[in-house]
Amino acid sequence: MPGTRPEAPPAAGTPSHDGTPLIDAEEDLTPAPPLATARRRLRAHPALLLLGIVLASLNMRAALAGVSPLLGEIGDHFGLNATASSLVTVIPLVFMGLGSYVAPKLAGRWGTETVLFGALLLLCAGIVVRVAPPLVALFVGCALVGGSIALLNVLMPGLIKRDFPDRAAPMTALYSTAMILGATVSAATSVPLENALGGWQGSLVAWGLLAAVAACVWLPQVVIARRGARHGVAAATPKHTVETGPKLGRSPLAWQVTLFMGSQSLIAYVTIAWLPTVFTDHGMDKAQAGLVFAFSTLVQMAGSFVVPVLAGRMRGQRLLAACVALLMALACGGLLVAPVAGAWVWAALLGVGQGGALGLALTMMVLRAGDPHTAARLSGMSQTWGYLLAAVGPLALGAVHQVTDGWTLPIVLLLVVCAGLVLLGLGAGRDRRIGA
């Protein structure tokens, strides 16, 4: 096993509860003095901030996870084949990638609080539009959901780092736990809600209420923050007038980190799109398939907690990258030989591997950067291109499933992605710094 670090790496972020440093989307922004004063007033009401963070975090995956057990019903309702049905997962991913790029720019213009409030309103609107009768509304709603989640993804960690600098660890624990809890409850209750509310539309739209409540909690914070922003004046100014630091697009190491992020995201979102369908196609009851999927989501907390802690204490992370990829490969192999009989085991292996892979990807964004500015830029690059790469997975495997009328070849292709993840991890996990 690689040795421990003889000294701390450059301060590229504040460590979270699990060792994952928080990358601040506002790292390169200086707030206008009136806005900084308004934010100090906000910090005088930590209970309101705390409630807002918890409610926003609960929304960050719920609208996506609740779709998976119902994908068959959605496809049947609109007469979609497997390839077209996968767009329900693919479209949010595309807009998650695009939204990751624009989030810091919006925060600089309007302020983080206002953008988060707008994201929650957008999420509520997307959830509602998604169940409207026309097929085009389904896809438009998916785009709105993906774009709003991207804004929450990018801005929430930085807000925690900014407003709770002395309690970043417990606050990040709360944030990440609430995010996974929202996804788990959504996946577990999607079929029961469908039965109780008379169809998949009721099940999906129910989560719009949670987004609306979260937006209401953020509204007072927006009002307070906007009192500190002059009309027509940007909320913050860039610290750098031109791009400084290493050219990430020319760095092989930056691309290895980005592709590692994208590949593990591809596996994760293929699972979100198709894992319950794999189980039901092999004879499992739909409600049970939803519970197994929810269990896989829940146990991601184990991997996301342990792996970053180990990664921060090791000189290189190659072994960890190989281990998380192996866990996911074992799960995929199990789905080939005994998809129903070993479903809970494969779900556990897949969940721990996915949680660990995501935690490792986020950690490497900081460990491979020599300073906070580079870490923030690498995070933007990795999330933008990573989510766009991940969008290929559900669509491609859905098309292969449709052509072959089975899951053998799609799962074999996932095994190939796991092998590629090992190779990318061997590169991204080296004890190197971008530009060094």
Query: What pLDDT is attached to residue 370?
Result: 76
Query: What pLDDT is attached to residue 10?
Result: 38
Query: What pLDDT is attached to residue 9?
Result: 38
Query: What pLDDT is attached to residue 224?
Result: 73
Query: What pLDDT is attached to residue 228?
Result: 55
Query: What pLDDT is attached to residue 34?
Result: 61
Query: What pLDDT is attached to residue 235?
Result: 55
Query: What pLDDT is attached to residue 4?
Result: 36
Query: What pLDDT is attached to residue 279?
Result: 96
pLDDT tens per residue across all 436 residues of the chain: 333 333 333 344 444 444 445 555 555 666 656 666 666 666 666 788 889 989 999 999 999 999 999 999 999 999 999 999 999 999 999 999 888 888 888 887 787 888 999 999 999 999 999 999 999 999 999 999 999 999 998 888 777 777 777 776 677 678 888 888 999 999 999 999 999 999 999 999 999 999 999 999 999 888 777 665 565 555 555 665 545 668 888 999 999 999 999 999 999 999 999 999 999 999 999 999 999 999 999 999 888 888 888 888 888 999 999 999 999 999 999 999 999 999 999 999 999 999 999 889 888 888 888 777 787 788 888 988 999 999 999 999 999 999 999 999 999 999 999 999 999 999 999 999 887 6
Whether the full predicted model's pTM is greater than 0.85, yes or no, is no
CA–CA distance, 199 with 195 (Å, rounded to integer): 6
Query: What pLDDT is attached to residue 230?
Result: 60
